[in-house]
Amino acid sequence: MTTTTRKPRKRRSKGRQYFTVVHEQAILDYVATEDIKVRTDLYVNLIGPALDEMVDKIVYTYKFTTLPNIDVLRDECKIWLVTVLDKYDKDKGSKAFSYFSVITKNWFIHKVKKQSKKNRTEIELVDLPRDLELKYISTSNPYPKEREHEEFFNFLKNEIDSWEHDKMKDNEKKVLEAIRILFESAEDIEIFNKKAIYLYLREITGLNTKQVVNNLNKMRSKYRVFRVRWDKGDL
């Protein structure tokens, strides 16, 4: 009687196996060098495939597939990531995977916001009487509001930098550094809803929602003082 030897089953790999410590190091090496050949080799062999898969997973996980021309947008996002690749700074406290995941999601959220705004505008213009259409369009000037918004966040960034970090506990520092990362990618984030921010902060810090909320509450009193001074024009 012959016995059949069964081959052991291969265990499924857990976690983000497409983005490993090897890819993290490849990004660090990419940022550290200005040699075009070295950068090209690192990107083609390691970084590019990992970022491509990351983009694809984010698109499906967060249901960005509902966006028009999603295939074109997906390719545009991958190209955009190449242009910001050398801006990654490990000293900011986040791993490359977390950093690029956040700014990729922000990029698509920005596209969702633009599409929603476009849809609303098209509906409004259809509903407008023809003789008021030109007046309605010509009186819209968002520049002053955008300028004020930009100045507010510049002052807020400086305020956060002035806080006494050495007196903060580890989790509080993690949340603060995560907020800094969001500030750095602010140009790509036009939508700051509460749910999205908590999601980003959780992912960057590795903390759960309760820990994130508790540490944000510790900073809230400092922010309120800053906000009062801003509203009074004392800054």
* pTM listed for this prediction: 0.47
Distance separating alpha carbons of residues 73 and 113, to the nearest angstrom: 14
pLDDT at 55: 94
- Summarize the confidence of residues 130-142 as an average pLDDT: 44
Domain ranges of the chain: 15-140, 141-235
Chain segment 1-48, per-residue pLDDT in tens: 444 454 444 444 444 478 999 999 999 999 999 888 888 889 989 999
pLDDT value for 189: 52
Across 197-204, average pLDDT: 76
Q: What's the Cα-to-Cα distance from 34 to each of 31, 38, 48, rounded to whole Å?
A: 8, 8, 17
Q: How far is Cα 201 from Cα 175, in angstroms, rounded to an integer?
A: 7
Amino acid identity, position 11: R
Range list of H helices, the chain: 21-32, 36-42, 48-61, 70-84, 96-127, 130-138, 143-162, 170-184, 194-205, 209-232
Q: Helices 143-162 and 170-184: crossing angle, nearest 10°?
A: 150
Return the pLDDT at 194.
64
Please provide the average confidence, as pLDDT, over all residues in the chain: 75
Contacts 24+ apart (CB under 8 A), 118-122: none
The alpha carbons of the chain give a radius of gyration, in whole angstroms, of 23
| pLDDT bucket at 120, cuts 50 / 70 / 90 | low
pLDDT at 235: 61
Q: Which residue has the higher pLDDT, 192 or 104?
A: 104
> Which range, of 72-76, 126-130, 223-227, averages the lowest pLDDT?
126-130
3-state secondary structure of 166: helix
Listed residue (67, 54, 142, 140) closest to 103, CA to CA:
54
Cβ atoms of 60 and 54 within 8 Å: the answer is no
For residue 162, name the pLDDT band (cuts at 50, 70, 90).
confident
